[in-house]
Structure 1
Amino acid sequence: MKRRNDKGVVLAKGAAGFDAALLGTSFNAQDPGRRPDLIVQANDVDDVIAAVRRANDEGLAIGICSGGHSWAQNHIRDGGMMLDLSRLNSIAVDAASGTAVIGPGCLSGDLNAALVRHKLFFPVAHAYTVGMGGFLLQGGFGWNSRANGLACQNVIGIDVVLADGTLVHASADENPELLWAARGAGPGFFGVVVRFHLQLRPRPKFIGMKLQVFRIRHLEAVMTWADRVGPDVLPSVEFQMVFNRRAAGIFAHGIEVLAPVLADSWREARDAVAFIADSPIRSKASLTLPLLPMSLGLMMNTGEKTLFLPNTRWTADSMWMNEPIEPLLPALRAIADSQPAAPSHALWLNWNAPASRPDMAFSLEARTYLALYGGLRGAAANPADESWATDHMRALQAHSVGVQLADENLGRRPAPFMAPANLARLDALRAQYDPQGRFNPYMGRVA
């Protein structure tokens, strides 16, 4: 049954269109095999309140979807209610105060486009179609986050529907423990955020990209060099290596050395990425492009259309590491040699976590970040390709300090994602605000 009433659009399991509506919420084309009892497509805050109250009345657990970019499809669970927030996608920018209020279903690319008109900036997600709700809750590793902080650090308030159906505001001065939890709890948050209040920044005057491409046979040389120069790379540069079998879209198996840079001038940006043009391995490169000015919107769309193709069955996994590169080189070589066809790829990100962050639930990061994205297309699939990401992360687990919730696979490989003290505090808050366990917990975790 599908109906529109004062509680949003409600679809019951088994109704015509139920599976299409459910799987249509997920960027990942993989069918996880899980089915909730109900889907509620909320159109406004009142719909959300009504849905949560219905879940209470009927004893239903709630899974939440804002943009559907969870690789693990966290919002799709067996039984209970799946609450679709994608239609709560409003954007209100107050240029005078440098703030914005957005709905959880607002897309990253749409927020960026709205801010361009005001010459303002927010560290949105790297892909255009990522919903801001889930992105902000898991921490938000956005554009220029090394310089501007995680996206969640720039959340100054939330409006949240609690487990009992009440709507409250949280900020540094009002219900601060809820804001603390919303900054990093990810899919373990115990409420429905219906509005995020954001602190904006002046827009960088120059945005661009530096690119080099190497054949995969140079992996050890490239990664050794990257590890050596990484600690000195300026925060304005997102220095990263991407391995795939269609490097830059035109080469065979290779490594893309990418350096997006957001700076106050072309000269500042040029100086910030000079370490690539002057590197001792530059003669090995198959392609070197000059620093190219590019809009953020273009970079978002290009990355999504080349690396994250639609109609792809994805399995992703990730880890944070502090170790030097030498003991990791054999594992990186094994990852590359066993890599499935594009769009599967591996990301090595130079992060260099700061010495301190504001007090918030997010609390686990490290020197470097490794993420594997196994993307399969077509009906047939090699079992080794299907498990490529998680198998290699499991093999590297001894070198890891934990995972990032943006690219987690906790249901298949539980791993730390938060400092123990922060996780204990989050558990206590969950017990206080959601004593009946109305909102689904993490799909997997370790103590």
Structure 2
Amino acid sequence: MDALPAGRHFFRGDDGYEVARQGTVWHQKVPDRYPEMIVQAVDAEDIVAGLRYAKANGHQVNIVSGGHSFAASHLRDGAVLLDLSRLDHATIDADNKTAVVGPGKGGSLLMADLEAQNLFFPGGHCKGVCLGGYLLQGGYGWNSRIYGPACESVIGLDVITADGEQIHCDAENHPDLYFAARGAGPGFFGVVTSFYLKLYPRPAACGTSVYAYPWDVADEVYTWARGISAEVDRRVEMQAIATRSLPEMGIDGPGIVFASPAFADSEAEAEKALAIFETCPVVDRAVLKVPYMPSDLPTWYTAVMTHYLDDHRYTADNMWTSASADELLPGIHKILDTMPPAPSHFLWLNWGPSPARQDMAYSIEDEVYLALYGSWTDAADDDRYGNWAGSNMAAMSGLATGIQLADENLGQRPAKFASDEAMARLDKARATYDPDGLFNSWMGRL
């Protein structure tokens, strides 16, 4: 690897290798999978050198930008891992409402940069999530029910292909690669060095409501939430988090919390959009009720991160569904009964019905999104809790339309994440741009 300066690449067994490997996973459950070499790229030349080495030595290639994959799908035995977290550039053109950003740019950092210029982008909900993996897998983010998954706002990409060629792709140039880059996630067969983004005006107001219910009214709460799916104002992110304790809210026991932001043109509009939470038939059983309060993104980022602690071990799985509450409740009760300690949680999100989407690999979504996040601190509990998310989602898979790649568990539970037509187009594009299979694909697929 003469083309790579010392200190920017680590072979397995080198000093610094294990620190570099573990550093690509945000939580403590780092899989026992070991790339042959890790390249900490700082520019396109590093990437090309890594690809050249992989090709010459018969290794496949994986890519990581921020390491927020719960499954750490970027860690593969014997592969060359390209760590792009140092490609964190960002250039904002406020007049034209566009930006050019690197895959290693943190989404929350971009949001702060944009807010300072009175702009907005549907960035991810968690601090630490970088734009590379987030945008490739689809990107459910702030105000995405209005602006769509973030990949719809990707208007172009700079990509290094399997043969080391540096190209720009968009709707007119290399359209098949552009199609694939918007939804293929960890199965994308190229290295994105820059994303070109469409930006939006910053919403004038962000408001929030908070309602917390005990678990013994779960039937009533989830039946109500399912019944009003089509009525929820699209400016509202109607989400419910069930967990065993919520000390940050002063709740010691199990609770189901609807904490939902609304982005609007005025405080009055936000408050009106959130009024639907008062229609819950057991609203009088709420142990915490805040119909409305002004909020902002920094406050929301802080709140979200109470559920994702980097000193814990994590597992996740998910499903899209249009099933009725009666069909879903047996599975929900099992989820609640078997849930590991907090901050483990069950997320219910009212997402659709959604408008028609652009022509892109991201091609499966439905009215409701369910996701499970199991967490614990002791490695001795891996067997006890490690399959909580996967087994519960497997039990409900008959009600699923598919999954979202953001919280995938494909290595343990293959599931459908794109339409049959989209998968056929992805396979055809892969055969064109990566005919020798240099880039590892998903860890599982149906």
Shorter chain as normaliser: what TM range? over 0.9
Confirm or deny that 1:116 pairs with 2:105: no
Structure 2 CA distance for aligned equivalents of residues 301 and 421 of structure 1: 39
Contact 1:353 1:365 in 2 (8 A): no
| Corresponding residue for residue 37 of structure 1 | 36
Moved over 3 A (4+): 2-8
1:202 maps to a residue whose letter is P
Deviation at 1:54, TM superposition (A): 2.1
2:62 counterpart of 1:63: yes
Partner residue of 1:352? 352
Matched with 1:276 is: 277
Contact 1:7 1:50 in 2 (8 A): no
One-letter amino acid matched to 1:403: I
Question: Which residue of structure 1 aligns with residue 294 of structure 2?
Answer: 293
CA distance in 1: counterparts of 2:353 and 2:224, whole angstroms: 19
Q: Residues 339-394 of structure 1, C-alpha deviation per residue, up to 9 Å, x if partnerless?
A: 10011100010011424111111101111110000111124316332211111011
Per the alignment, residue 268 of structure 2 pairs with 267
Contact residue 213 and residue 248 of structure 1 kept, 8 A: no
Count matched residues. Answer: 444
Gaps of 5+ in 1: none
Partner in structure 1 of residue 365 of structure 2: 365
Question: Does structure 1 residue 232 correspond to structure 2 residue 209?
Answer: no
Determine if contact 2:4/2:46 at 8 Å carries over to the other structure. no
Matched residue of 2:207: which SS?
A: strand
Q: How many angstroms does 1:88 deviate by?
A: 0.3
Give CA deviations for 1:402-428 in whole Å, capped at 9, x if unaligned.
110001101100011000011011001
Please identify, of 360-369 and 241-250, the stretch whose mean Cα deviation from structure 2 is larger. 241-250
Rounded Cα–Cα distance in structure 2 between residues aligned with 1:373 and 1:85: 26
CA contact (8 A) 2:35 2:79 kept: yes
| 1:21 has 2:31 as partner | no
Per the TM alignment, residue 3 of structure 1 is displaced from its structure 2 partner at its CA by 9.5
In the TM superposition, what is the alpha-carbon distance from 1:56 to its structure 2 partner?
1.8
Determine helix, strand or coil for the equivalent of 1:267: helix
Alpha-carbon shift at residue 100 of structure 1 (Å): 0.3
1:289 shift after superposition: 1.3
> Residues 173-208 of structure 1, C-alpha deviation per residue, up to 9 Å, x if partnerless?
211211111010101100000000000000000012
CA distance in 2, matches of 1:138, 1:30: 22
Q: Percent identity?
A: 44
d(CA) in 1 for partners of 2:279, 2:184: 41
**Offset, 1:31:** 2.2
When the two structures are superposed, what TM-score results if normalisation uses the length of structure 2?
Answer: 0.97
Which residue type is aligned with residue 416 of structure 1?
K
Query: Residue 7 and residue 433 in structure 1: after superposition, are their counterparts in 2 closer, same or farther (change >3 A)?
Result: farther
Conserved? CA contact 1:247–1:255, under 8 Å: no
Residue matched to 2:72: 73
Once the two structures are superposed, the pairs formed by residues 40-55 of structure 1 within 5 Å of their partners are 40-55=39-54
After TM superposition, give the deviation of residue 4 of structure 1 in Å: 9.4
Question: Deviations along 1:113-147, whole A, 9 cap, x unmatched?
Answer: 10011100000000121011000000000111110
How far 1:7 moved relative to its partner?
8.3
Distance 1:361 1:444 in 2: 17
The root-mean-square deviation of aligned C-alpha atoms, in Å, is 1.5
The structure-2 alpha-carbon separation of the partners of 1:3 and 1:284, relative to structure 1 and needing over 3 Å to count, comes to: farther
Is 1:257 aligned to residue 258 of structure 2? yes
Deviation at 1:295, TM superposition (A): 1.5
TM-score by length of 1: 0.97
Contact 1:101 1:196 in 2 (8 A): yes
Aligned to 1:84: 83
Query: Once the two structures are superposed, what CA deviation does each residue of 1:86-120 show, in whole Å capped at 9, x if it has no partner?
Result: 00001110101100000000001110010011100
- CA–CA separation in structure 1 for the residues paired with 2:107 and 2:380: 33
Q: Does 1:378 align with 2:378?
A: yes
Give the aligned partner of residue 426 of structure 1.
426
Match of 1:324 in 2: 324
1:311 deviates by 1.7
Please state how far the C-alpha of 1:29 moved relative to its aligned partner.
1.3
